[in-house]
Amino acid sequence: MKGVRPVGNTVLLCAALQVSAALAGDAAATGVVEAARPDTGKQWAFESTPAWRDEFDQPGPPDSSKWRFQQGGHGWGNHELQQYTDSSHNAFVENGVLNIVARKQKRQGMDYTSARLTSNKQGDFLYGRFEIRAKLPGGRGTWPALWMLPTDKVYGEWPKSGEIDLMEHVGFDPGRIHITMHTEAYNHRINTQRGATRVVADAMDGFHVYRTDWTPDAIRGYVDDQLVLEFPNEGSGPKAWPFDQRFHFLMNVAVGGDWGGKEGVDDNSFPATLQVDYVRVYPLVGR
């Protein structure tokens, strides 16, 4: 999300890798779910029961033991137009769903309000299977994101310590889901960004599962269990692969910005709501 940009001429890599057929059967019986086979030939597996999760079953504010609000209206590195708040008008749980709502509403010099939630220091993970089931807002100028950032920034500030985007969507290109990885070697500022897209025509009308499988060998991004992006660990060091440290979740709806506002903002799009049904983390077996 930080410094995010259009993916450009990315190529879907679904044909490069197939998910093991053993997702059921023996794997279920042993309590683990098999990961896709990396190029090394090693078979990684994930636990079948989440070790960290939020099902958003308790109405009211988001669970403060899992989430905290990041607030401010300074553009967030992308010239965004919203003021992030901790208001119940911008984030609340209702009917088993978390709602993150961007509104046309003046606040502290900004023309829009929204919310940005993070699990930093409350949900931090090294490797695993990460699933978020969500329904996206539509409308020109909206920019919802489900993503992850490094907790400890072992290799320095962005992009040196990496970024994992499970899902990004810009309202001026409805239904096109972006999955992207950012590192010092691979990022948009030097035209080397690694990402891929998939069109999900009803992404704004229904819930879909945005999933990332993260192992020491590769990070793979999926939509509804269909592989969209494979980002392998090429073994050349942290400039290309800083993903050997803890990361945490972020969920937000930005307004405008360098990418989200590329074709302007339609005020008729607001209020614009990102709905999240659940967030689940399945540990990598043996880690």
At residue 286, the pLDDT reads 75
Are the C-beta atoms of 77 and 250 separated by less than 8 Å? no
At residue 273, the pLDDT reads 98
pLDDT at 32 over 70: no
At residue 261, the pLDDT reads 96
Buried b / exposed e along 126-142 (16+ C-beta atoms within 10 A): ebbbbbbbbbbbbbbbb
What average pLDDT does the segment 239-252 reach? 98
Q: pLDDT band at residue 18, thresholds of 50, 70 and 90?
A: very low
pLDDT at 79 over 70: yes
- In angstroms, the CA 267 to CA 254 distance is 14
Nearest to 169 by CA among 180, 182, 158: 180
CA distances from 187 to 8, 21, 28, 249 (A): 12, 33, 38, 20
What average pLDDT does the segment 223-251 reach? 98
What is the pairing mode between strands 218-223 and 226-232? antiparallel
At residue 187, the pLDDT reads 95
Which domains occur in the chain, in start order? 51-282 (2.60.120.200)
At residue 43, the pLDDT reads 84
Per-residue model confidence as pLDDT tens digits over 42-60: 789 999 999 999 999 999 9
Residue 106 main-chain phi, psi, to 5 deg: -75, 135
Per-residue model confidence as pLDDT tens digits over 130-177: 999 999 999 999 999 999 999 999 999 999 999 999 999 999 999 999
Q: What are the start-end ranges of the H helices in the chain?
A: 26-30
At residue 287, the pLDDT reads 62
Among all residues, which ones are annotated catalytic?
163, 168
At residue 40, the pLDDT reads 53
Are the C-beta atoms of 144 and 252 separated by less than 8 Å? yes
Lowest-confidence pick of 36-50, 88-102, 112-126, 175-189: 36-50
What is the residue-averaged pLDDT of the chain?
A: 89
At residue 172, the pLDDT reads 98
Beta strands in the chain (DSSP E): 32-34, 45-47, 52-54, 68-69, 82-84, 91-94, 97-107, 110-114, 116-118, 124-125, 128-135, 142-150, 163-168, 176-182, 194-199, 208-214, 218-223, 226-232, 247-255, 272-282
Residue 174 main-chain phi, psi, to 5 deg: -60, 135
At residue 31, the pLDDT reads 41
At residue 42, the pLDDT reads 75
